[in-house]
Amino acid sequence: MRVAFYAPLKPPSHAVASGDRTMARLLIAALERAGHEVDIASTLRSRDGQGDPKRQCRLRRIGERLAERFMRRANAVGRPPELWFTYHLYDKAADWIGPHVAERLAVPYVVAEASVSEKRRDGPWRQGYEAVLGALRRAEGVITLNSADLPGITQYVRRDRHHHLRPFIVTAPFAAARRARREYRAALAAQYQLDPGIPWLIAVAMMRPGDKLASYRHLATALAGLRDKSWQLLVIGDGAARAEVREAFARCARRVRWLGLLDREQIAASLAACDLFAWPAINEAYGMALLEAQAAGVAVLAGASGGVPDIVAHGETGWLTPPGDSMAFGAALSELIASPPACRAYGAAAAVRAAALHDIDVASRRLDEILRRALEKARPR
């Protein structure tokens, strides 16, 4: 079917890499694999980070004009969408376009990854909050990727219209990298003067102020307390908080290798060469890098924030510690560094689980089922 796709927080074409942009692109790819024709309906970023009611009013008016323009264009070429799909909907980034188009064209409205925060009910984001509730009540399908969002949306979504979709990636490149682990490890050891005989830890994340920087600092604190252990850390990422991140690791700087920004193939190779992905995951939605590491056969240690437990199976593919608990994270890190066999066992299980539950082909079939059910519900009886 023809699908109009819209991501109000950040369009799939956005230049800055992020998990949000990656998941938008993956959703489009999964829909196309299922045989659907996907059109990017708009690139309007509706995010209001300051809680400015005037800005929200202005964004709503812009959204309504864009909705009218979209419908005129679709009707002019004789190919209106058969379904509208909005990804990542919350009060700070409301969908001011999709519900209007879906209502006027009488097509199903489907939302993936919506969240509701009741504290916005009467605050400066009240307009966005009300828009989200309106969108959820209108939707023929609401897809949850993060189980942490469930408590906020269940009271506004009928049970027969709610669907769960596991976060997913294209696992094949990471599985291929895993098979070439020995070669990649030797190459990295030579390039960065690493000892292949001791545990290699890895972290992959942009260096941004806020939660990412907080996670880097938690990781640095934990590692600074383990200087009596044998380990080396590879870091993939860059960004505006680069200096602060490097400063955080000052006490163990000689053991850290900074790989900078890498492409997807290089990331897969680097992950596969390592023994443990370590990330405190402060306020992480679910963490695409955690999933990529497991697909590459790498054990994961992470903080159990948000939807991270949806990805990391505690005691099976890795280990989870209480969110923000540096002492628990450091203790678990110490145990895992001292137990390479446990890391290997977790990594092997992680690769199997990622391929079975989190691959794009699995997601494509599930999405197709959800869209067809939404289309059926929208048909007049």
What CATH number should be reported for the domain holding residue 10? 3.40.50.2000
Enumerate the β-bridge partners of residue 201. Answer: 233, 276
Residue with tokens 């992020």: 18
- Check whether residue 105 and residue 254 sit in a common domain: no
**Is residue 195 located within the same domain as residue 344?**
yes
Measured between alpha carbons, how far is 67 from 81 in angstroms, rounded to an integer? 12
Same structural domain for residues 213 and 350?
A: yes
Using alpha carbons, select from 329, 285, 334, 294 the residue that is nearest to residue 313: 294
Express as a percent the part of the chain with pLDDT over 70.
99
Is residue 6 located within the same domain as residue 74? yes
Residue 232 token pair: 């080396």
- Cα distance between residue 128 and residue 125, in whole Å: 5
Phi, psi dihedral angles at 301 (to 5 degrees)? -115, 125
Domain identity same for 243 and 272: yes
User: Which string of DSSP letters, residue by residue, matches 114-126?
Assistant: E---GGGSSSTTH
Q: Are residues 219 and 83 in the same domain?
A: no
243 burial via Cβ count (<10 Å: 0-12, 13-18, 19+): exposed
3-state DSSP assignment of residue 4: strand
CA angle 146/151/157 to nearest 5° reads 90
Q: Is 342 exposed, middle or buried (0-12, 13-18, 19+ CB in 10 A)?
A: middle
- What is the extent of the structural domain holding 349? 172-357
Are residues 264 and 177 part of one domain?
yes
What's the rounded Cα separation, in Å, for the pair 55 and 61?
A: 10
Check whether residue 226 and residue 337 sit in a common domain. Answer: yes
Tell how many helices (H) and how many strands (E) occur in the chain: 15, 12
What is the distance between the alpha carbons of residues 43 and 309, in angstroms, rounded to a whole number? 31
What single string gives the DSSP state of each residue in 35-68?
A: T-EEEE--------SS--HHHHHHHHHHHHHHHH
Say whether both 318 and 281 belong to one domain: yes
Per the structure, how many domains does the chain have?
2
Cα-to-chain-centroid distance, residue 79: 32
Task: Decide: 178 and 276 in contact? Cβ < 8 Å.
Answer: no
Residues 6+ away with beta carbon under 8 Å from 206: 17, 18, 212, 237, 238, 239
- 162 CA to centre of own chain: 20
Do 350 and 256 have their domain in common? Answer: yes
Same domain, 242 and 285: yes
pLDDT tens across the length of the chain (381 residues): 999 999 999 999 887 778 888 999 999 999 999 999 999 999 999 999 999 999 999 999 999 999 999 999 988 888 899 999 999 999 999 999 999 999 999 999 999 999 998 888 888 999 999 999 999 999 999 999 998 888 889 889 988 999 999 999 999 999 999 999 999 999 999 999 999 999 999 999 999 999 999 999 999 999 999 999 999 999 999 999 999 999 999 999 999 999 999 999 999 999 999 999 999 999 988 889 999 999 999 999 999 998 999 999 999 999 999 998 989 999 999 999 999 999 999 999 999 999 999 999 999 999 999 999 999 877 654
Other CB atoms closer than 10 Å to residue 63's CB: what's the count?
24
- Same-domain status, 139 and 186: no
